[in-house]
Amino acid sequence: MSLAICLCVVGVIAIVYIALYFSSKGTPPTESPADPVVSARPVHVGRNLLLGAVAFVALDGIIFHTRLYPSILAPDSYAGRLAVITQAEKKRASSGRKEVLVLGDSRIAEGFSTAVADEVGSASGLKFVSLAEPASTIVIWHYILREVDPTAQRYSAIVVPYGIGYEPDTAGDLRISMAAPLLRYGDCFRFASAFQPWSDWFRAFTACILRGSAYQSDLLNLLQHPIGRLGSIQLEAARLRSRAAYEGRDSDIAGTSYDPKTHKVSFPPNLTEAQKQLISQSLNPRPESEREHFVKLQRGWIQLIFDRYSNSSTAIVLTPVPRSPFGELAGSSVTGDPAFPNALTKRAAFSLPEQTFNFLEKPEYYFDGYHLNAKGRRRFTERLVAELVGRLQSGDAQSRLTSVHNYLPTSGGQERYH
Amino acid sequence: MLFNSFQYWIFFLIVVVLFYSTPFRIGKIILLCASYIFYMWWDPRFIALIITSTVVDYFLGIWLEIASGRRKKFLLGISLLVNLGILGFFKYYDFFAGSLASLLHIPESSIVLQIILPLGVSFYTFASLSYTIDVYWGKMKAVRNFIDYALFISFFPHLINGPIIRAGQFLPQIQSWRRPTAIMVQSGIILVLSGLVKKMIFADRFAVVSDMYFNHPTAHPGWLAAWTGCIAFAMQVFFDFSGYTDIARGCARLLGFEFPLNFLRPLLSRNPREFWQKWHMTLSSWVRDYVFIPLGGSRRGSLVLYRNLMIAMVLVGFWHGASWTFILFGVYQGMLLIGYRFFEQATAGTMISRIMKKRYFVPISVTLLFMSFVIGMPFIRGQNLQVSGYVLSGLFGFQHVTGEFLLTAGTLALFFISLVLAVAQERTQFIDRLALQPARIQIPAYVCVFLALELFPATGPVPFIYFQF
């Protein structure tokens, strides 16, 4: 090892020496040669610049808008994982049963098990597919649906979670790069509209046109570890299988208590400092502006999903997710927001009441401040599937067409579910 | 508005369109207004300082031309007082007050005013001073057109970060302005792109390493960490400032103006004298012409020469920032220059001198000069004397720890790419010649630059480092 380092150092010194040796012909200049003012041949500034720009956009398109680069994205990155699972889902042959697609962020990725769901729902002829991905939002789910279900006829039902997410607004860069494999040139204005600070809006807009800009860190990583990347890509299939076999985490935070009045939280002795920190973090109230933006985003993009499936037999199912190990925290409820249900009045859909999973909002079902553990995962899945089966099997077309507005609880928390 | 922000390029596009769609006499006014808007974008309050300096020096210039004797000296004194007064108060008051407070053991808060440093004050006061001094010396005639003079002081490409323009270089260009030729436009675009690559790819990536080290130097003890942190900062400073200068020169050229060169591959210099002929050339030539030569230059014997060199370099250091670390940077550079003169005289005609002139010795000279430059970095980047001292003790191994190698594979690659490009440019001037190349070379070059700017910039617009000076 030390010999290799010595050889490297010698090599570096040799390169530097040779380079500098070649730079040193004659007396060093202290004045730059005058810049050219006239040219012997005609100069086409605009033409060359324009052609350069066109060639650049075309090259970016060939490399990054086709499957060329997305196929070598780091499979363990957000963008890479999303590219892999959407491609796998696109290629997956139909099961012949009624397929239910479950979307969501990490709370659903940790909380929903397709294995358990299939076990519970198989008798009803349902097959569950999960494309829940950590850090994804309603914006990304919209593009996932466009990618995996281009005809809007593939699934019997699509489960879309609602409620306040926990990724901060500052995660703009992450979301842009994550969505990049699913974006098209025509998405620039709509996709950019989902981002709040002007700089994020601009980056999102650019990512749709020049998709390479969204892969900067991935490309650097590839250049630094090209062999590691190839090895990692070869392990993709195994990773997909392990994703299906994932059963959730066994640990829990039982014994943790929180007093919303005093904002005091007490921990059992078995929790690590990192766990304690994460739980405390989850209890911080979200800034009002962030919450408003989140609600606005859900309102607009759920509407887009509804519009996409407006002429389809696919049922859109809005489901709440368990909010925290300590029940409702300040600002964690979304349905009380007067803006939220108004957007949903046109499209018929199921919506599960916000209280559906309140029974899971206990520390023994969580492994941190946000995510359900294996026990919670099983119970969440069982309950969700039971709710779905009941409604999907009723076959009551009229009830399907009932406005989701009627299903949503009022701000007072009183259920108006029929 | 940063040169590396989208905002600036929208602004610049609007200015270009308005400027070229009107006759030049109106275009000048548009450029002046644009320059003031550009400055006020940062903080509108400080526009009053530029206008004050402009108005005072404009009238003083005219009076200086017709005055003589003691009255002339008095008028020059007013110009010096106003410009150095602005610079002294806004840039140096807090430093002197703080130093006085610690000397007298009184609380700093009682005399320190926490003054905000107006952007570009060091650049435009020096530009303005050069005008009145040149008129005083009779080197140039006073300008009668106020718009011309105001545009010289506040022309936005050089306003906040240089290069330091002299009236004699810029005013004639206003008075006999001509539309730039196609080749000038082409080379202007190439300069802008080269500046953006230097800033967004090279400087900002080296900044990640240097920030990691200098923000918490005690977290990275040892000589290896110190050297790699300082090398990263040296590269950052060079690429940042020379990138800014390239963009400024390119923008000016696109508007039909020519700015002087400010950097000529200084990190390939073989000795300190050559380094200062190639590094921040407009500042070093300003100090040479207005400080070093008036003090007697090298005409009055070795001792006076050494004194003058030291004064000039301390001034250069102090110009960069109001702190003891910058003064020490100046002292250090002065010592290098004086030491090199001593060495040169002592070895003249000897075998050492002959060997040093050999081509095979050049890489060693360049490396030694680069290392001496790197050793000066703790003075510029260290927040105070303690930090600078700590980093220096790391550089010289006094901490008795090896430390970690902070340069990443990416920054190492950039280091070697920059070395190869600098050597190629030194030998062939391939970047300068690009504007003359046919489309089959230019278009792929544009594509490569656009791709590099798309794929490899550090995240988000990072301010230019010389803004703080």
pTM for the whole thing? Answer: 0.83
* B contact residues 91-150, partner A, Cβ 8 Å cutoff: none
Contact between B189 and A220 using a beta-carbon 8 Å cutoff: no
pLDDT of B225-270, one tens digit each?
A: 999 999 999 999 999 999 999 999 999 999 999 999 999 888 888 8
What pLDDT is recorded for position A412?
Answer: 35
| B78 has a pLDDT exceeding 80 | yes
Instruction: Tell me how far apart the alpha carbons of residues B469 and B154 are, in angstroms, rounded to a whole number.
Output: 17
What pLDDT is recorded for position A125?
Answer: 87
Q: What is the pairing mode between strands A157-162 and A126-130?
A: unpaired
B425 near A CB under 8 A: no
Q: What is the DSSP letter of B265?
A: -
H-only helix segments in A92-131: 106-111, 114-121
What pLDDT is recorded for position A225?
Answer: 87
Q: Which residue has the higher pLDDT, A175 or A236?
A: A175
Beta pairing partners, A158: A101, A316
Cα within 13 Å of Cα(B383), Cβ side: 7
What pLDDT is recorded for position B141?
Answer: 92
**Which candidate in B185, B228, B440, B443 is best for mutational testing of the A interface (most A CBs within 10 A)?**
B443
With beta carbons less than 8 A apart as the criterion, state whether A135 and A400 touch.
no
Instruction: Tell me how far apart the alpha carbons of residues B343 and A245 are, in angstroms, rounded to a whole number.
Output: 74
Which of helix, strand or coil describes residue A350? strand
Contact between B261 and A43 using a beta-carbon 8 Å cutoff: no
What pLDDT is recorded for position B466?
Answer: 59
Contact between B268 and A199 using a beta-carbon 8 Å cutoff: no
Nearest chain A alpha carbon to B439: A48
| B318 has a pLDDT exceeding 50 | yes
Which of A348-352, A375-379, B7-11 shows the lowest per-residue confidence on average (mean pLDDT)? A348-352
* B contact residues 268-297, partner A, Cβ 8 Å cutoff: 268-270, 274, 277-278
Averaged pLDDT for residues B109-121:
83
Averaged pLDDT for residues A192-211:
89
Contact between A30 and B264 using a beta-carbon 8 Å cutoff: yes
Give the pLDDT band (50/70/90) at residue A38: low
Residue A281 structure tokens: 């973090």
Contact between A212 and B429 using a beta-carbon 8 Å cutoff: no
* B contact residues 332-391, partner A, Cβ 8 Å cutoff: 359-360, 362-363, 366-367
H-only helix segments in B67-107: 69-87, 93-104
Give the pLDDT band (50/70/90) at residue A33: low
Which of helix, strand or coil describes residue A205? helix
Residues of chain A found within 8 Å of residue B444, distances taken between Cβ atoms: 55
| A311 has a pLDDT exceeding 90 | no
Catalytic site includes residue B220? no
Q: How far is B8 from chain A (nearest CA, A)?
A: 13
Instruction: Tell me chain A's radius of gyration from C-alpha atoms.
Output: 26
B208 near A CB under 8 A: no
Q: What does pLDDT average to over chain A?
A: 81
Instruction: Tell me how far apart the alpha carbons of residues B328 and A7 are, in angstroms, rounded to a whole number.
Output: 38
A198 near B CB under 8 A: no
Nearest chain B alpha carbon to A47: B439
Contact between B278 and A45 using a beta-carbon 8 Å cutoff: no
Instruction: Tell me how far apart the alpha carbons of residues A346 and B349 are, in angstroms, rounded to a whole number.
Output: 94
Contact between B187 and A59 using a beta-carbon 8 Å cutoff: no
Contact between B363 and A21 using a beta-carbon 8 Å cutoff: yes
Catalytic member of B158, B280, B320, B400? B320
B65 near A CB under 8 A: no
Contact between A36 and B447 using a beta-carbon 8 Å cutoff: no
Terminal C-alpha separation, chain B:
17
Contact between B447 and A59 using a beta-carbon 8 Å cutoff: yes
**Matching residue, tokens 């398109």:** A61
Residues of chain B found within 8 Å of residue A22, distances taken between Cβ atoms: 423, 427
Nearest chain A alpha carbon to B191: A35
Instruction: Tell me how far apart the alpha carbons of residues A210 and B455 are, in angstroms, rounded to a whole number.
Output: 10
Residue B227 structure tokens: 């050297």
Averaged pLDDT for residues B149-174:
91
Taking residue A381's Cβ as centre, other Cβ atoms within 10 Å add up to 27
A219 near B CB under 8 A: yes
**CA neighbor of A299 nearest in space, from A261, A345, A257, A350:** A345
Give the pLDDT band (50/70/90) at residue B358: confident
Residues of chain B found within 8 Å of residue A5, distances taken between Cβ atoms: none
pLDDT of A318-334, one tens digit each?
A: 888 888 888 766 555 55
Residues of chain B found within 8 Å of residue A204, distances taken between Cβ atoms: none
pLDDT above 70 coverage of chain B, percent: 98
B9 near A CB under 8 A: no
pLDDT of A160-176, one tens digit each?
A: 998 776 665 567 788 89
Q: How far is A213 from chain B (nearest CA, A)?
A: 5
B452 near A CB under 8 A: no
- Which burial class, exposed, middle or buried, applies to A392 when counting CB atoms under 10 A from its CB (0-12, 13-18, 19+)? buried
**Which candidate in A38, A39, A195, A218 is best for mutational testing of the B interface (most B CBs within 10 A)?**
A39
Contact between B362 and A23 using a beta-carbon 8 Å cutoff: yes
* A contact residues 11-30, partner B, Cβ 8 Å cutoff: 15-17, 19-25, 28-30
Which of A192-206, A282-296, A307-321, B197-211 shows the lowest per-residue confidence on average (mean pLDDT)? A282-296
| A104 has a pLDDT exceeding 80 | yes
Contact between B362 and A24 using a beta-carbon 8 Å cutoff: yes
Q: How far is B431 from chain A (nearest CA, A)?
A: 10
pLDDT of A105-154, one tens digit each?
A: 889 999 999 999 998 888 888 899 999 998 888 999 999 999 999 999 89
- Residues comprising chain B, all counted: 469
Q: How far is B47 from chain A (nearest CA, A)?
A: 27
pLDDT of B122-147, one tens digit each?
A: 899 999 999 999 999 999 999 999 99
**Which candidate in B193, B419, B447, B459 is best for mutational testing of the A interface (most A CBs within 10 A)?**
B447
Q: What is the DSSP letter of A264?
A: E
Residues whose CB is less than 8 angstroms from the CB of residue B68 and which lie 6 or more positions away in sequence, other chains included: none
Contact between A24 and B261 using a beta-carbon 8 Å cutoff: no
Q: How far is B133 from chain A (nearest CA, A)?
A: 25
**CA neighbor of A335 nearest in space, from A354, A307, A349:** A354
Task: Provide the sign of the torsion angle of the four alpha carbons A71, A75, A77, A81, taken in this order.
Answer: positive
* B contact residues 213-252, partner A, Cβ 8 Å cutoff: none
pLDDT above 90 coverage of chain A, percent: 28
What pLDDT is recorded for position A279?
Answer: 84
Q: Which residue has the higher pLDDT, A170 or A204?
A: A204
